[in-house]
């Protein structure tokens, strides 16, 4: 099968995208590290928990929402637990499971960190986009996300050896 290379437009888009997200992630990480002592992902963990009912989530659910591997999450949660920002509890219904719970201290840290974070996201992303572009951004990445793990098994070859298999994730019983 002969390769369908990228068109010039696609190449330009691809390069702009890669450059942009690297710089943006880098900036966000640096800001959060500086002001909250943790990288972006760790902040997202706290943020996710803070919005969950009772501020608690199963590890697998959390990993699923964050789009990261469980092993990565384990490491991060261990660190945050050491810092006292969350604690682990065992799952009542499924003794295999464990649940991460945001502590009050975690909530405080999150609240303190949020303004600076939002300010950064604004300054370097949203303040530079028109409302239409905000919509386009959502649209584009929603499609990407769906393609990568939303249920549409039609369009994507199922048998690529290197694809991550998405475990069907269970919520509360």
Partner DNA sequence: TAGGTTTGTTTCAAACTTGAACCAAGACCC
Partner DNA sequence: GGGTCTTGGTTCAAGTTTGAAACAAACCTA
Judged by the rule CB under 8 A, the positions of this chain that interact with a second copy are 3-6, 9-10, 12-14, 16-27, 30-31, 33-35, 44, 66-68, 114-115, 118-119, 121-129, 131, 133-145, 147-149, 155-157, 160-164
Q: Kindly indicate which of the ranges 5-13, 87-95, 131-139, 148-156 contains the residues binding DNA, using the contact rule CB under 7 A.
A: 87-95
Taking CB within 5 to 8 Å according to partner kind, which of DNA, a second copy, none is near residue 112?
none
Taking CB within 5 to 8 Å according to partner kind, which of DNA, a second copy, none is near residue 101?
none
Is 88 an interacting residue with respect to DNA (CB under 7 A)? yes
Select from 10, 26, 51, 138 the one that contacts DNA (CB under 7 A). 26
DSSP 127: G
Residue 65 CB contacts under 8 Å (≥ 6 apart), including other chains: 48, 57
Nearest CB to DNA, comparing residues 71 and 130: 71
Task: Tell me how far the alpha carbon of residue 172 is from its chain's centroid.
Answer: 21
């Amino acid at each position: 099968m002969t390769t369908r290379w990228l068109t010039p437009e696609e190449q330009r888009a691809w390069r702009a995208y890669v450059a942009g997200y690297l710089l943006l992630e880098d900036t966000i990480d640096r800001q959060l590290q500086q002001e909250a002592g943790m990288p972006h992902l760790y902040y997202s963990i706290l943020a996710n928990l803070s919005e969950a009912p009772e501020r608690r989530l199963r590890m697998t659910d959390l990993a699923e929402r964050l789009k990261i591997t469980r092993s990565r999450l384990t490491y991060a949660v261990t660190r945050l637990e050491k810092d006292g920002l969350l604690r682990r509890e065992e799952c009542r219904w499924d003794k295999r499971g464990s649940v991460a719970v945001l502590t009050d201290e975690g909530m405080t840290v999150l609240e303190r960190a949020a303004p600076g974070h939002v300010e950064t996201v604004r300054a370097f992303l949203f303040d530079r986009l028109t409302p239409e572009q905000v919509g386009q951004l959502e649209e584009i990445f929603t499609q990407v996300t769906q393609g990568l793990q939303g249920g549409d098994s039609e369009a994507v070859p199922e048998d690529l050896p290197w694809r991550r298999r998405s475990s069907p994730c269970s919520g509360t019983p």
